Structure 1
Amino acid sequence: MPKTSKSNASETVEMEGYEGHLEKFEGGYTVSFEKYTADADLTEFFKGLPNDQCQAAHWGYVLTGKVTYKTASGDETYEAGDAYYVPPGHTPVLHAGTEIVEFSPTEQLQQTLDVVGKNMEAAT
Structure 2
Amino acid sequence: MPKTSKESAAETFRLEGYEGHFDDLEGGYTVGFETYTQTADLTPLFKGLPDDRCQCSHWGYVLKGKVVFKTADGEEAFQTGDAYYVPPGHTPEIFEGTELVEFSPTDELKRTLEVVGRNLEAGE
* TM range, smaller chain: over 0.9
2:2 alignment counterpart? 2
The gaps in structure 1 that reach 5 residues or longer are: none
Q: What is the number of equivalent residue pairs in this alignment?
A: 124
Q: CA deviation at 1:27?
A: 1.2
Q: Look up the SS of the partner of 1:111 in the other structure.
A: helix
Query: Which position in structure 2 is the counterpart of 1:120?
Result: 120
Structure 1 position 26, deviation (Å): 1.8
The RMSD of aligned alpha carbons is: 0.8
* TM-score computed with the length of structure 1 as normaliser: 0.98
Q: Shift of residue 39 of structure 1?
A: 0.5
The aligned counterpart of 1:99 is 99
Q: What residue in structure 2 maps to residue 72 of structure 1? A: 72
Identity percentage of aligned residues: 65
2:122 counterpart SS class: helix
Which runs of 4 or more aligned residues in structure 1 lie more than 6 Å from their structure 2 counterparts after TM superposition? none
Q: Distance in 1 between matches of 2:99 and 2:45?
A: 21
Counterpart in the other structure of 1:39: 39
The one-letter code of the counterpart of 1:74 is G
For 1:98 and 1:42, locate their aligned partners in 2 and report how far apart those are by CA, in whole Å. 14
